[in-house]
Amino acid sequence: MIPLSGDFGNAKGIVREKLGSFETHRGTSTLKRGFAHMLKNGVVMDVTTVEQAQIAEDAGAVAVMVLDKLPSDVRKAGGVARTASIRVIEEIMDSVTIPVMAKCRIGHVYEAKVLGETDVDMIDESEVLTPADEFHHIWKWDFTTPFVNGARNLGEALRRIEEGAAMIRTKGEPGTGNVAEAVIHIKNVNTELRRIKSIYDAGDEQDLVSIARELKVSYSLVEETASLGRLPVVNFAAGGISTPADAAYLMTLGCDGVFVGSGIFKSEDAKERAQAVVLATTFWEDP
């Protein structure tokens, strides 16, 4: 079981308020990570319009990710890629019942604040857009809205979790239609997880401390991850997934679900393709 509590119990993103006769807490780790848990075994689809969002919902997508341009177009267009239009995000939120996510630039605290105020269900601090801060990511404990972050290896994943990410997507190359990079990175993460698990099982605390230093994260997070033998948050695969078989293959590697970007709405038969990817993700054990 993935633990639902995280550090920073007094994070700024936690809101305490009285609703009627009830004391409530919002923005806790349980609620943020718990939200990600509800997406498990699902497909999150990239969309740019209301029409695409509705096709995604009908096909069985577990959430949609709103972008200005699909990743493959971002890749072609060059220039600076930013958060999608707030008007389009709001229109989509009003037309589908599934969660709506949107991307902000890495380190761009204000784009994230605007998305938080827009009331998106999850913010993706994403490398698909042009980074706004080359050195720092957003300190996500300050937000009530949960975040998902990309990672290519265990160190990146744990650093993002330590910054407050409630979910990780192990990423390939967005907008390429080539799943190879995603596969490499997921296998990397799995190998590293197996390594620290075996060190944990052997009781070698000294080695875990040196791994924490090497990965530049706290010892407690390394110890927790090592004891679980998996990331302490939900982990999806992302980037370059374009066919149902790609999605099913990534599920067999132990991912909790998949993000599909350009693969669906760049194809001729978006509706059928969207449904097929969902079916492959759900019933991957039984092709």
Partner 1 sequence: MTGVNIGILAVQGDVAENLTATRMAMDELGVEGVVTEVKNPDQISDLDGLIIPGGESTVIGTLSLVNGSLKKIKEKIASGIPVLGTCAGMILLSKKAKDRVVGDMEQPLLDYLDIKIERNTFGRQKDSFEADVALEKIGVPKFRGVFIRAPSVIDAGKDVEILSKFNEKIVAVKQGNIIGTSFHPELTADLSIHKYFVNLVQKKN
The alpha carbon dihedral of 179, 134, 107, 141 has a sign of positive
> Considering only residues 78, 79, 97, 252, which one is a binding residue for partner 1 as defined by CB under 8 A?
97
Angle, vertex CA 143, rays to CA 137 and CA 118, nearest 5: 105
Whose Cβ is closer to partner 1: residue 17's or residue 268's?
17
The CB density around residue 202, as the number of other CB atoms within 10 Å, is 10
Read off the DSSP letter of residue 142: G
Which residues between 119 and 138 bind partner 1 (CB under 8 A)?
Answer: 119-122
Per CB under 8 A, which region of 112-120, 173-181, 207-215, 221-229 contacts partner 1?
112-120
Q: Which of 26, 82, 197, 266 binds partner 1 (CB under 8 A)?
A: 26
Alpha helices per DSSP H over 78-108 = 86-95
Give the SS3 label for residue 283: coil
**Secondary structure letter of residue 97 according to DSSP:** S
CB of 261 to partner 1, least distance (A): 19
Where is 159: in which H helix or E strand? helix 154-162
| Least distance CB 180 / partner 1 (angstroms) | 27
Residue 50 found at the interface with partner 1 (CB under 8 A): no
Q: Does 2 bind partner 1 (CB under 8 A)?
A: yes
Q: Which of 1, 87, 134, 206 binds partner 1 (CB under 8 A)?
A: 1
Least spacing, CB of residue 230 vs partner 1, in Å: 11
CB of 5 to partner 1, least distance (A): 10
Q: Which of 6, 71, 146, 175 binds partner 1 (CB under 8 A)?
A: 146
Asked about 171 being catalytic, the answer comes back as no
How far apart CA 102 and CA 104 sit, in angstroms, is 7
Residue of 32, 69, 103, 140 marked catalytic:
103
Q: Which of 41, 191, 198, 210 binds partner 1 (CB under 8 A)?
A: 41
**HSE of 246 in the Cβ direction (CA atoms, 13 Å)?**
25
70 binds partner 1 (CB under 8 A): no
On the 0-12 / 13-18 / 19+ scale of CB atoms within 10 A, 214 is: exposed
Nearest by Cα to 246 from 205, 276, 272: 276
With a CB cutoff of 8 Å and minimum separation 6, the contacts of 120 are 66, 89, 93, 100, 101, 102, 145
CB 263 within 8 A of CB 72: no
Q: Which of 101/199 has CB closer to partner 1?
A: 101
Positions that interact with partner 1 (CB under 8 A): 1-2, 4, 19-28, 30-31, 34-35, 37-42, 57, 60-63, 93-99, 116, 119-122, 144-146, 278-279, 282-283, 286
Active site residues: 103
